[in-house]
Structure 1
Amino acid sequence: MKPEKLSDIKKELLSRSVPELTDICLRIAKYKKENKELLNYLLFDSDDPLAFGEKIKTLLEEEFKALQKHYYYSTKSLRKILRLMNRYTKYTGNKQVEIELSLWFCNNFLQYADLRTSHKPLQGLLIRQLEKISKILPKLHEDLQFDYQSEFEDLLHKADSQAKWISKSLYM
């Protein structure tokens, strides 16, 4: 069975009544947790995406505090944190929230993760986030770019001094 195009679905939704739309939304939310979370965001949190970002930080802060020291387990936990963070960021569709959370993740990574390890997957998590930030920065408004650029440079300086495998010149 092949799903219809989004334009066809939109036309069909416009022809439906409000009670029918409510039933459709509730039915969609019932089958997948992500659909329910997205619906929850759209109904209750979409007014202020930055406040939603703060909620995400609070939620994931406990995960960072419970991070194990062994590189294998900390890598698994950090991947889980990133997966959740990316899922919630996808709901907002806001680049400012995305860069805010990525900077927060990198700062917590430097604080809680074992930076002396040579475990490549663990190192790759931080490196990919730094690359992601450097790609998102030019897409922001000029004022936000200036603010986040200085925060990013501070993060790079901190990472360069704490982790011998990070070179800030690669991201400048």
Structure 2
Amino acid sequence: MPAPSTDFKRVLRQLTDKEKEDLLLKAVRRDAELYDLVRYEILPDVDLRVVQDEHAERIAELLQKANGRVMSRALARALGKAAKEVARAKRITKDKRLEVDLNMYVLRLVLDEYQSYFDGYFHLFYVATVRFVLRTAKLIPKLHEDLWLEYQDEFNDILRTLRAHDKHRQLRYPLPTELELPA
């Protein structure tokens, strides 16, 4: 998207409040993410917790509605959509901790509800989950160091659960034994 020109800014300042309102309403009707962003920015009752709860509901619904001939493949696709939903929440709020919290929520949900699909013939869901775990492992050290301990135990439990399956030996990349944090 190009940067707004000075002419554009000048004309925008000259618009009346009614014209600005109409223009904003037209824009948010066309783009759901823009609607969520504007809603987060201007409504006092829509805060970080509300955005997190809404996206957590969408993620749970994505995983619950996954269906197809091969369930592990459908769950892998749903996990990819869940990752996009997490990215959307981060774009709206610009909060790294929200991204990690939603990632951990997804991993908890996968391990609590869908772990039985790791044992199937197809490795796709297991591999998608491992990739999601590795992506989350890269995000946690980017947070403030006081928050590392908050996630470390739960994350190490997730890694132990994934390493308990024999499929971790067939991965192209090694699955770490614990969360690696900078010294």
Mapped partners of 1:142, 1:47: distance in 2:
28
Partner of 2:130: 127
Distance verdict in 2 for CA 1:27–1:81, change over 3 Å: same
Aligned partner of 2:95: which letter? N
Structure 1: gaps spanning 5 or more residues: none
CA distance in 1 between counterparts of 2:123 and 2:55 reads: 27
1:84 matched residue in structure 2 = 85
Does the 8 Å CA contact 1:38/1:91 hold for their aligned counterparts? yes
**Is it true that 1:15 corresponds to 2:13 in the alignment?**
yes
C-alpha change, 1:6 and 1:96, in structure 2 (3 Å) is farther
Assess, with a 3 A threshold, how the Cα gap between structure 1 residues 35 and 47 changes in structure 2: closer, same or farther.
closer
Distance 2:9 2:167 in 1: 53
Q: How does 1:10-49 map to 2 (within 5 A)?
A: 11-12=9-10, 15-16=13-14, 18-44=17-43, 48-49=47-48
Q: Do structure 1's residue 155 and structure 2's residue 153 form an aligned pair?
A: no
| CA deviation vs aligned residue, 1:62-117 (integer Å, no higher than 9, x gap) | 33334447222222333333323322332111011000010111121222331113
**TM-score, normalised on structure 2?**
0.73
How many aligned positions are there? 169
Contact residue 123 and residue 167 of structure 2 kept, 8 A: no
Shift >6 Å, 4+ stretches: none
Give the Cα separation in 2 of the matches to 1:39 and 1:170: 39
> TM (normalized to structure 1)?
0.76
- The Cα RMSD (Å) is 3.0
Secondary structure of 1:119 counterpart: coil
C-alpha distance 27-142 of structure 1, shift in aligned 2 (>3 A): same
Return the letter of the residue paired with 2:59: L
Q: How many percent of aligned residue pairs carry the same amino acid?
A: 20
